[in-house]
Structures are given as C-alpha cells and as structure tokens.
Amino acid sequence: MRIVLIALFLVSSIAASSWADIYRYIDDKGVVCYTDAPLNRKAEKVLRTEPSVIQRDSPNPAVQRDFHSIVVDKASKYEMDPSLVHAVIKTESNGNPRAVSKKGAMGLMQLMPTTASDLAVRNPFDPEENIDGGTRYLKYLIERFNGDLTLALAAYNAGPNMVQKTGSVPQITETKQYVKKVLSLYNGRTVLPVPSPASLVPPSGPKTEPIYKVLTEDGSVLFTNSPLYNYKKTPRF
C-alpha cells in the first residue's frame, strides 16, 4: 500500500492557550498522520509543547532556542554556509520548531508534508531532522539553479517548477519579500559554486505531488497529497 503523509492543521501555527502536544500515528489505511488530537488512537508523541500562547513569530524565550550547533553540523555535512541556513530559519519560522504555516509547512525550515516525505524526514518538528532535511533541500535548489542563490531561495518559497518556468523570481509579493529578507539577513555571496551537472539529482523520494485541503466529518482540517482520501470534501489546495 502506498504511504502518504497527512498533517493535521494546528489552527494558525499552533496558536493556543492550552496543551498542544503533537502525535504521530499510522491509521488503518496505512497513512502517516501528525495531529494534536490522537482521539484514543495508538499514537507516538513526537513533540511536547508548553501551555502558553505560541505563534510563528513569537519571541518567547522558550521557543527561541539556540540551534547553532545543529546548523553548523548540517551545513558542514552538505557544504553550506551556516549563516545562510540561520537566515532561512529566521525567515521561515523565527526559530520556532513548532511553527506550522497556514499552508501546512512545518518546523524550523518550514517543510511542506510532501517535501518532508521526499526528504525522509520522519518528524518535521524535531530540530535536527528538520534542519537536515531543509539544508539538504536548499543545497539541491542551489545546484539546480546553477549557484544562483536568489533563484534558489525563490524556489524554496514558491516551488522550483514556478521559478524554472519564469526563469526569475516570480512576481509574487510574498516570494519577493521572502528572498529580500533572507538575503539581507545572510549578507553573503549570491552566486555560489556548484558541482558538475551530472551530480545534480533531487533529494531521494517520489515526485512531489499537489497538496489537498480536506475537511473531515468532525470538522478537523487535514492537509494531504492523496486526493482520494475518503472524507467529505477534498478541494485542491
């Protein structure tokens, strides 16, 4: 059975004033799910949160942890500048490992469910796994766009196919602001060395699929790459 990834939308970046632990379980259809409401299922807790209001850009010291050692380790592993990885983390999640965007992107480097699955990131809320996957994906994009960091960052935000199609930063306000912010935080070279074209291979895993927003019968919202998932509504996201 094909395994797909489903991420439960956690109400605007897990903004809640109560406990919001995150669990991982596999349902009876073999689908991997992340949720803050396991509903008596046999689930593995993958993230424990504190009983306080948490937002994507929260300056809460409990959220703003120092991930420098992990960043340095992963940047070295993939021959990347740690300052660039830090700039992406700051822009993506403001250093909040529990951040979830309205589109369903998760963790420090805001990995979409299908991207996390392609990168074999089992728990996107784990800082080490997230930074490893995000750094590896950014490295791939830099190589794909021949060392052009501006285009690679645009692809990280808007998707590589969109950038490949236009050959430039898409005329999307969010994407243009994203690229500008990362580059201003990084303040480094925007043209980077890349290996020979023969070594440019995408991260392991299946081809990225579209994401669908699903409203279940109990009112929960799920994000999934399976349009056939058996719920009432499956509008394409």
| Grouped pLDDT means (10 residues each) for the chain, 237 residues | 41 40 72 69 65 42 70 96 97 96 94 94 96 97 95 97 94 96 93 64 52 61 55 44
Phi/psi of residue 71, each to 5°?
A: -60, -45
How many domains, in total, are found in the chain? 1
Question: Which of 85, 22, 78 has its CA nearest to residue 49?
Answer: 22
- Which residues, listed in sequence order, are joined to residue 111 by a DSSP beta bridge? 106
- Residue 135, domain CATH: 1.10.530.10
Q: Would residue 232 count as lying in a domain?
A: no
pLDDT digits (tens, 9 = 90+) for 114-161: 999 999 999 999 999 999 999 999 999 999 999 999 999 999 999 999
Q: Would residue 84 count as lying in a domain?
A: yes
Q: Would residue 231 count as lying in a domain?
A: no
Residue 204: the pLDDT is 58
Provide the 10 A C-beta neighbour count for residue 80. 19
**Residue 189, CA distances (Å) to 93, 131, 142, 146 in order:** 23, 21, 12, 14
Structural domain that includes position 79: 5-224
Q: Would residue 233 count as lying in a domain?
A: no
Q: Would residue 134 count as lying in a domain?
A: yes
By annotation, the residues acting in catalysis are 92
Q: Would residue 237 count as lying in a domain?
A: no
Q: Would residue 169 count as lying in a domain?
A: yes
Q: Would residue 230 count as lying in a domain?
A: no
- The alpha-helical segments, DSSP class H, found in 50-96 are 68-77, 82-93
